[in-house]
């Protein structure tokens, strides 16, 4: 590859990004991720026509699909979410052997400042991404709280109630509110960790955006918090200009790399010469298997 200058370049290109990764120009990388990176694990995204979660909720007779994850609706009819949760067991899914472990590779190489994710599937933990490098902006399925008084409740008991099809109620005196997992519903505030992560965003020298259409606020405001001139790269099947104010095909410091996340990440690993290191971070069952392309993986529609 012809030697290029990141400092003198008029426009960020794929080759320049690869050079920056290889030679250590990028030392404080922030990775923003959405539902598209988990598609190849078997978890559907939210808004893809036909296959997305929102396209398959007819039996719940919701006025709008988002009601399933709206706090006011949950307080009124928690049984709907409980029925959905019973059928949609995230514990059965595993981290993808490409994109999730690429983030792990960045962590192990000392290049990752933070993975800020919209996902609640906890696949980052299954890829051994440490809590110090992870911000779950929309919460996670690790804890449970009363939706009414916010008292912390036992998560295992919550899961047992979901499996039994029974509503887990708060045991605080005079409350009795329905218990929900620690995921952020519409109408709730994001966790404090999200707002603290903005400091890390301000200090990053590369932002990778993967598997998200940046359609949900305030998560989609994060690219605005990088310092002037910091490179921002979108890895996604589609540009986000139709779903957000961000157009990664415009501006000298932005780059849109079209394609499925897993396929694109495998190419980046290869072009950086990191194959051997990458294989070492993979679990034994995935070694030598991540090279094949995964059809349909890594796409995101309006998440």
The residues carrying an active-site annotation are 138
* Angle in degrees, 0-180, between the axes of helices 99-108 and 261-272, rounded to the nearest 10: 40
Alpha-carbon torsion (189, 191, 192, 197), positive or negative: negative
Under 8 Å between Cβ of 169 and 176: yes
Residues 6+ apart with CB under 8 A from 119: 33, 34, 35, 37, 38, 136, 138
In 3-state terms, the chain is what percent helix, strand and coil (to 5)? Answer: 40, 15, 45
Q: Residue 8: name the closest of 21, 22, 25 by CA.
A: 25
Residues 6+ apart with CB under 8 A from 153: 144, 145, 146, 168, 170, 171, 179
The angle subtended at Cα 93 by Cα 92 and Cα 96, nearest 5°, is 160
Consult the annotation and say whether 149 binds a ligand. Answer: yes
Consult the annotation and say whether 170 binds a ligand. Answer: yes
Q: Residue 39: name the closest of 25, 24, 51 by CA.
A: 51
DSSP-derived pairing of the beta strands 179-183 and 139-146: antiparallel
Consult the annotation and say whether 135 binds a ligand. Answer: no
Consult the annotation and say whether 175 binds a ligand. Answer: yes
Residue 287 CA neighbour count, 13 Å, CB half: 9
List binding-site positions for Zn(2+): 146, 149, 170, 175
Annotated binding site: 146, 149, 170, 175
């Amino acid at each position: 590859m012809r030697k290029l200058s990141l400092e003198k370049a008029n426009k960020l290109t794929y080759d320049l990004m690869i050079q920056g990764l290889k030679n250590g120009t990028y030392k404080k990388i922030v990775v923003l991720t959405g539902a598209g990176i988990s598609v190849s694990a078997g978890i559907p995204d939210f808004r893809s026509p036909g296959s997305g979660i929102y396209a398959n909720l007819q039996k719940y007779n919701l006025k709008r699909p988002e009601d399933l994850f709206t706090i006011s609706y949950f307080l009124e009819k928690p049984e709907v979410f409980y029925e959905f949760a019973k059928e949609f067991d995230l514990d059965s899914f595993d981290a993808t052997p490409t994109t999730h472990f690429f983030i792990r590779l960045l962590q192990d190489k000392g290049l990752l400042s933070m993975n800020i994710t919209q996902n609640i599937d906890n696949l980052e933990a299954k890829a051994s991404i440490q809590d110090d490098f992870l911000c779950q902006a929309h919460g996670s399925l690790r804890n449970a709280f009363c939706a009414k008084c916010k008292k912390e409740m036992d998560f295992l008991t919550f899961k047992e109630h979901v499996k039994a099809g029974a509503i887990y109620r708060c045991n605080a005196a005079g409350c009795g509110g329905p218990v929900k997992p620690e995921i952020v519903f519409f109408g709730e505030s994001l966790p404090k960790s999200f707002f603290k992560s903005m400091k890390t965003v301000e200090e990053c020298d590369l932002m990778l955006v993967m598997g998200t259409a940046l359609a949900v606020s305030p998560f989609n405001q994060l690219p605005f918090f990088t310092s002037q001139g910091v490179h921002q790269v979108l890895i996604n099947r589609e540009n986000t200009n139709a779903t957000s104010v961000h157009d990664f095909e415009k501006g000298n410091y932005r780059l849109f790399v079209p394609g499925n996340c897993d396929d694109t990440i495998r190419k980046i690993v290869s072009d950086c010469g990191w194959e051997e290191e990458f294989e070492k971070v993979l679990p034994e069952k995935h070694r030598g298997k991540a090279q094949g392309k995964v059809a349909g993986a890594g796409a995101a529609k309006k998440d």
